[in-house]
Structures are given as C-alpha cells and as structure tokens.
C-alpha cells in the first residue's frame, strides 16, 4: 500500500497519541502494529523513535485495546469531530 505525505503525517500523529490504539490505525489505514512501528522507525529521528517506543511499552500508553478500560468500545472521544475519508467534517 502506497501512502501519501498527508496519510503518513496522520498515522504518526495517531501513533503519538496515547489514547489512539493501534487497532484504530489499522482500521483507518490498513496498517497493522508492526507496519506502524516500521513506519515510525523510518520517519522519525532515532531519539524520537526510541522515546515513543519506550512510552508505548511502559504501560502508560493505552495503544492496545486490551490495556484499555473494557467499557470503552470506541476509537474516539464523542466530542471529537467526525473524520470521513481522512477529512475532518464541519459541524
């Protein structure tokens, strides 16, 4: 799958967010966790990548659905704007 610059930027942004699980990235872009890690490794500076990996693996991050509260069954906050086709819709 060929990603454009906007998609790569959005994936990196989603990966940096602690509350966005890898499953949400895979749902929206079709990239499994291993591919996201590979993308982050190639697109970020080494120190930034190491800091991100340390945070994701430390348990602070909720990047995996199984680490989240089981009552949370959605990918986004209810106040967040709808994203359709990777474009933010206006309310």
The 10s digit of each residue's pLDDT in 16-55 is 988 888 999 999 999 999 999 999 999 999 999 999 999 8
At residue 38, the pLDDT reads 96
The answer to whether 27 and 21 have CB atoms below 8 angstroms apart is: no
Whole-number average pLDDT of the chain: 79
Tell me, rounded to whole angstroms, the distance of Cα 79 from its chain centroid: 18
For residue 69, pLDDT over 90 is answered with no
Q: Which of 40, 66, 75, 76 is nearest to 55 (CA)?
A: 40
pTM above 0.85, yes or no: no
> Dmax of the chain from CA atoms?
39
pLDDT at 43: 94
Length of the chain: 91
């Amino acid at each position: 799958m060929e990603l454009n610059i906007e998609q790569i930027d959005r994936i990196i942004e989603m990966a940096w967010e602690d509350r966005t699980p890898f499953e949400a990235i895979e749902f929206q872009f079709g990239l499994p966790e291993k591919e996201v890690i590979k993308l982050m490794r190639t697109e970020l500076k080494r120190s930034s990548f190491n800091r991100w990996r340390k945070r994701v693996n430390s348990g602070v991050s909720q990047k995996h659905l199984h680490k989240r509260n089981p009552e949370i069954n959605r990918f986004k906050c209810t106040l967040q704007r709808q994203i359709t086709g990777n474009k933010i819709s206006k309310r």
